[in-house]
Chains A and B, each alone.
Chain A
């Protein structure tokens, strides 16, 4: 399998549930990202991992907890979410992060997990 894969593709959870999103990249990249895409808003960066170390936490609430056990896998653990957390959660990878000034470190994105919090 190639590229960036995400599971599950769709998830419905109650506010008291605990669930995890999984991302796997088969590109040999060293950086992985979680983005949140809400309706009518720009893509929001949540977390960045570079060589398994978290390098960016973009003021994300603690109910979202990332985990990066190795350069190929990234998880987003969810607990006690709110309805406003319903969104498309996209995982991405790139060769490295942060990019060199103006460097071409394009992100390769997965298909996303459509999350609905009820």
Chain B
């Protein structure tokens, strides 16, 4: 069965610094996709970035990049130059085969001025 593990319940980062949010996954499928979502206090889940298991390059979207280490089954999110508006819950998720998207428990990021 697919599983996502986010070991950091909460993280603090100074404004303008970079921060890494950890995510490890477990699947026996060879083809899968990894996603990161941001959930601010308003409740809406906002898609941030996607990495396919066969993508050779690490995905990047603006200030977000995904540090994909396939052998270690990790897909860490790196946020560069943190902003106060980055304070939110962050969820890692995975899809593979015909299974629905599986989410981790999330990490609460707090950006400090």
Contact = CB atoms under 8 A, between A and B. Distances in A.
Contacts of A104: 33, 50, 52
Interface string A36-72: 0000111101001000000010100000000000000
Interface in A77-118: 88, 90, 92, 97-99, 101-112, 114
A109 B53 contact: no
Given A101-B31, A102-B95, A102-B96, A43 B43 contact: no
Contacts of B46: 109
Interface of A is mostly: loop
Given A43-B91, A102-B96, A88 B53 contact: no
Interface residues of A, number: 28
A37 to B, nearest CB: 8
A102 B47 contact: no
Q: How large is the interface on B (under 10, 10 to 19, 20 to 34, 35 or more residues)?
A: 20 to 34
B42 interface: yes
Contact of A98 (B54, B98, B105): B98
A28 B99 CA distance: 23
B29 interface: yes
A64 to B, nearest CB: 16
A83 B39 CA distance: 24
A71 B54 CA distance: 31
A104 B43 CA distance: 23
A102 B53 contact: yes
A45 B100 contact: yes
Contacts of B32: 101-102
Nearest to A106: B47
B35 interface: yes
29 contacts: A41-B105, A42-B103, A43-B45, A45-B100, A56-B100, A58-B100, A98-B95, A98-B97, A98-B99, A98-B100, A99-B95, A101-B29, A102-B31, A102-B52, A102-B53, A102-B54, A103-B33, A103-B95, A104-B33, A105-B95, A106-B35, A106-B50, A107-B45, A107-B47, A109-B44, A109-B45, A110-B44, A111-B43, A112-B43
Interface of B: 4, 29, 31-33, 35, 37, 42-47, 50, 52-54, 91, 93, 95-106
